[in-house]
Amino acid sequence: MTMEKATKIIRLVLGGMITVLGLNGFIPFMPTPSVNEEMGVFLGALGATGYMFPMISLIKIVSGILLLLNRWVPLALVVLFTILANALLAHLFLDPAGIGMAIVAVALNGFLILGYKEKYLELAAKNK
């Protein structure tokens, strides 16, 4: 399999996964995974703000759709990485038992960022 095909497949998988997770934030259709007490307190604090979960879900939906449509992919990956990295770190420090999906999502995102590295290098070169 060529790098181009792998990048396309992973882009579609991550885009679909993230879009579904974002939609689930507005229309809960998947069961809520159980978390330990520390993660529960953290998630409760985020929920208490009233805006964090809707904002995160909206960013997931928009980023996921951009990945699925192959539009502004480098931007979508960078924006999505902020959410995925925070999910990974929250699980790492608060609920290591639930870290599996976060690792997968960060790995897929990282693979795609490497696949689009030329776009990021172009941007860096323009800002010298």
Number of domains in the chain: 1
User: Over the chain, what HEC string results?
Assistant: CCHHHHHHHHHHHHHHHHHHHHHHHHCCCCCCCCCCHHHHHHHHHHHHCCCHHHHHHHHHHHHHHHHHHCCCHHHHHHHHHHHHHHHHHHHHHHCHHHCHHHHHHHHHHHHHHHHCHHHHHHHHHHCC
In a domain, 73, yes or no: yes
Q: State residue 110's pLDDT score.
A: 97
What residues make up the domain containing 95?
A: 3-28+38-126
What would the mean pLDDT of 121-128 be, rounded to a whole number? 80
Q: What is the pLDDT of residue 40?
A: 95
Residue 22 lies in a domain: yes
pLDDT tens digits for range 65-113: 999 999 999 999 999 999 999 999 999 999 999 999 999 999 999 999 9
Q: Does residue 54 lie in a domain region? A: yes
Q: What is the pLDDT of residue 46?
A: 96
Residue 125 has pLDDT above 90, yes or no: no
Residue range 25-43, pLDDT digits in tens: 999 999 988 999 999 999 9
Q: Per the domain annotation, does 10 fall within a domain?
A: yes
Query: Is 33 a member of any domain?
Result: no
Residue 14: pLDDT band by 50, 70, 90 thresholds? very high
